[in-house]
């Protein structure tokens, strides 16, 4: 039978720590009991929303939904009313899973709520309760629905921003999760003996799928920091954690902290693997971390729609600036605007074509790691694929002579990557235009040492003499969309630069 969590279902590592958030933790047996009991209550539900705070309850809720074969829609608990309203309207969940005591916003008020109860009693102790049977040699056998058996059935719907319009729900099948996690296990020699530490949010692929479901699929452990801090990373690495996952902003902050904290360098040196992803890790941060710790940071490249595509291998050489080679099972090619193939990998993994470190093309991928489409958006799904069925990532890259992928840019200038979050400029412009003091708005990314890019806004106010304050506009966006989408820089103009067709010329926006 296809199972996403063999170790959980078989009971083979019943007493091992599965999840730890702060001072609360669950062994595999306890997780099986908690998630198993909840899964029994979810059996037959439609899609369920998951109030994805960085807590044990979110991890248990996600595992329960997966055990029950019910697709889960993780929600950013900081989402504003417009964003949340859109996601709930679009994904139409039948109920919402949340931690007991969490206050939910009005946009979720109409939904049935199920509290995620975490128990430290095992199924064996509780007996066969609420649909959970304890069998000899196993800790939990959860009611198996057809969806659980079918690797093609949807597991998660993860919302991701595009250049224009509201976020789209990427439907991620069970097969993709299994395929990507097993491919990473191969690339990183990732086993049940690994203990992962991270402080990533749990409503995106990186933190939830790679960072929580990843260790659970291996039968290993995850320790979540609740919120990222250099001290937390050092503490957990000192206390036996073997791997660290983070976005480049987190590695930047570690690099900054290294100067003041010799203990941090020691802790990082002790890790088996330091992994960065979601955006490019700047060379300067690579170098500072290597100089202080002797350790290279492994980069992997993925996307909500594709999960993971490439990685530097644990047994390979870390060359800053590259994201490694395609993961097992992933087809990857670089393609010119007119569809001409520039460089690609043969089925046996050898590079072909112009792998010269110079010829730039769009990365296109295919494989079992891909999503099945955008929810309710067949038009957008069709547009995401080439005529011959490859997913168009929009990322531009070269293949180096050793076959490594080096990402050099992005096709769409209206996509911003800030702190590892993908943010669509159009979505923020629309929110800004709803402010009564704004006549015109343009949004673009600006380089930033900490966030990679920051969200910058150019505003033509209704009244040039009395423009709204930058803080007011930031709050306006944070309350409607999400705090990470708020403009960090606001400049006021008399008019936006436009071409004869009236299109805003973003390259001509004044930057000081």
Nearest approach in angstroms of CB 308 to ligand AMP is 9
Q: Give the Cα separation of 219 and 5 in Å (integer).
A: 8
Nearer to ligand MCA, 330 or 342 (CB): 330
For residue 320, give every residue at least 6 positions away whose Cβ sits within 8 Å of its Cβ, in sequence order, or none. Answer: 281, 283, 286, 287, 296, 297
Question: Which value, to the nearest 10 degrees, does the dihedral of the CA atoms of residues 433, 437, 441, 444 take?
Answer: -100
CA-CA distances (angstroms) from residue 138 to 33, 145, 301? 11, 19, 37
DSSP letters spanning 82-101: HHHHHHHHHH--SEEEE-TT
378 is written with which tokens?
A: 């067949």
Question: Which value, to the nearest 10 degrees, does the dihedral of the CA atoms of residues 442, 448, 454, 456 take?
Answer: -30
- 160 touching ligand AMP, by CB under 6 A: yes
- 304 touching ligand AMP, by CB under 6 A: yes
Among 303, 312, 397, 443, binds ligand AMP (CB under 6 A): 303
- Distance of alpha carbon 296 from the chain centroid: 22
Q: Among ligand AMP, ligand MCA, none, what binds residue 328 when CB lies within 5 to 8 Å by partner kind? A: none
The span of 16-24, 36-44, 202-210, 321-329 binding ligand MCA (CB under 6 A) equals 202-210
Q: Among ligand MCA, ligand AMP, none, what binds residue 280 when CB lies within 5 to 8 Å by partner kind? A: ligand AMP
- 298 touching ligand AMP, by CB under 6 A: no
- 155 touching ligand AMP, by CB under 6 A: no
- What is the total count of residues that contact ligand AMP (CB under 6 A)? 19
Nearest approach in angstroms of CB 242 to ligand MCA is 20
Among 57, 236, 285, 395, binds ligand AMP (CB under 6 A): 395
Question: Which DSSP category does 141 fall into?
Answer: B
Dihedral sign computed on CA atoms, order 445, 509, 406, 296: negative
Nearest approach in angstroms of CB 164 to ligand MCA is 19
Nearest approach in angstroms of CB 209 to ligand MCA is 8
- 420 touching ligand MCA, by CB under 6 A: yes
Give the burial class of 448: count Cβ atoms within 10 A of its Cβ; 0-12 exposed, 13-18 middle, 19 or more buried: middle
The span of 77-85, 296-304, 374-382, 453-461 binding ligand AMP (CB under 6 A) equals 296-304
Residues 170-229 that bind ligand AMP (CB under 6 A): 205
Binding mask 221-260 for ligand AMP (x = CB under 6 A): ----------------------------------------
The span of 103-111, 276-284, 314-322, 397-405 binding ligand AMP (CB under 6 A) equals 276-284
Main-chain dihedrals φ then ψ at residue 355, nearest 5 degrees: -95, 70
445 is written with which tokens?
A: 């990314």
Nearer to ligand AMP, 13 or 335 (CB): 335
- 76 touching ligand MCA, by CB under 6 A: no
- 486 touching ligand MCA, by CB under 6 A: yes
Nearer to ligand MCA, 36 or 420 (CB): 420
DSSP letters spanning 330-365: -EEEEE-TTS-EEEEE-TTS-EEE--SS---EEEEE
Beta strands in 64-209 (DSSP E): 72-75, 95-98, 112-115, 154-160, 168-173, 195-198
Nearest approach in angstroms of CB 301 to ligand AMP is 4
Nearest approach in angstroms of CB 130 to ligand MCA is 34
Main-chain dihedrals φ then ψ at residue 173, nearest 5 degrees: -80, 160
List own/partner pairs for 124-127 with CB under 8 A and 24 or more apart. 124/29, 125/33, 126/33, 126/37
248 is written with which tokens?
A: 């480049």
Among 71, 192, 201, 452, binds ligand MCA (CB under 6 A): 201
Binding site for ligand AMP (CB under 6 A): 160, 205, 277-280, 299-304, 323, 393, 395, 407, 410, 417, 422
Chain residues in the site for ligand MCA (CB under 6 A): 78, 200-201, 204-207, 228, 247, 249-250, 277-278, 302-304, 419-421, 474-475, 478, 483-484, 486
């Amino acid at each position: 039978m296809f199972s996403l969590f063999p170790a959980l279902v078989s009971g083979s590592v019943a007493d091992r720590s599965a999840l730890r958030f702060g001072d609360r933790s669950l062994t595999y047996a306890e997780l099986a009991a908690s998630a198993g009991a909840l899964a029994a209550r979810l059996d037959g539900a439609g899609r369920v929303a998951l109030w994805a705070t960085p807590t044990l309850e979110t991890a248990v809720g996600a595992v329960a939904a997966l055990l029950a074969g019910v697709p889960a829609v993780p929600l950013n608990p900081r989402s504003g009313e417009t964003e949340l309203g859109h996601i709930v309207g679009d994904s139409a969940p039948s109920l919402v899973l949340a931690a007991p005591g969490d206050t939910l916003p009005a946009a979720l008020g109409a939904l049935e709520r199920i509290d995620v109860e975490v128990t430290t009693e095992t199924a064996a102790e509780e007996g066969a309760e609420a649909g959970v049977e304890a069998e000899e040699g196993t800790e939990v056998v959860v009611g198996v629905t057809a969806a659980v058996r079918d690797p093609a059935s949807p597991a998660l719907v993860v919302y991701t921003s595009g250049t224009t319009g509201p976020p789209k729900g990427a439907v991620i099948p069970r097969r993709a999760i299994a395929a990507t996690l097993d491919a990473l296990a191969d690339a990183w020699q990732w086993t049940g003996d690994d203990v992962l530490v991270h402080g990533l949010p749990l409503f995106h692929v990186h933190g939830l799928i790679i960072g929580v479901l990843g260790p659970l699929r291996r039968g290993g452990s995850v320790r979540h920091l609740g919120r990222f801090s250099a001290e937390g990373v050092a503490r957990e690495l000192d206390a036996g954690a073997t791997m660290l996952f983070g976005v480049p902003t987190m590695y930047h902050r570690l690099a900054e902290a290294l100067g003041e904290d010799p203990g941090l360098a020691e802790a990082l040196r002790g890790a088996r693997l330091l992994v960065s992803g979601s955006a490019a890790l700047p060379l300067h941060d690579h170098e500072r971390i290597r100089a202080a710790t002797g350790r290279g940071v492994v980069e992997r490249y993925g996307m909500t729609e594709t999960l993971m595509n490439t990685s530097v291998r644990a047994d390979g050489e870390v060359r800053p600036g590259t994201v490694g080679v395609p993961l097992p099972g992933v087809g990857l090619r670089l393609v010119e605007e007119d569809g001409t193939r520039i460089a690609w990998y043969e089925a046996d993994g050898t590079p072909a074509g112009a792998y010269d470190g110079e010829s730039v093309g769009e990365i296109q991928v295919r494989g079992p790691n891909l999503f099945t489409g955008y929810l309710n958006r067949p038009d957008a799904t069709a547009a995401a694929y080439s005529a011959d069925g490859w997913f168009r990532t929009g990322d531009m890259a070269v293949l180096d002579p050793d076959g490594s992928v080096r990402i050099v840019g992005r096709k769409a200038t209206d996509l911003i990557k800030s702190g590892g979050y993908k943010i669509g400029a159009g979505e923020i412009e629309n929110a800004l235009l709803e402010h009564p003091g704004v006549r015109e708005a343009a949004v673009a990314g600006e380089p930033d040492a900490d966030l990679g890019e920051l969200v910058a806004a150019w505003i033509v106010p209704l009244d040039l003499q009395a423009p709204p304050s930058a803080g007011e506009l930031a709050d306006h966006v944070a309350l409607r969309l999400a705090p990470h989408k708020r403009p960090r820089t606001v400049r006021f103009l008399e008019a936006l630069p436009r071409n004869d067709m009236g299109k805003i010329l973003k390259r001509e926006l004044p930057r000081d």
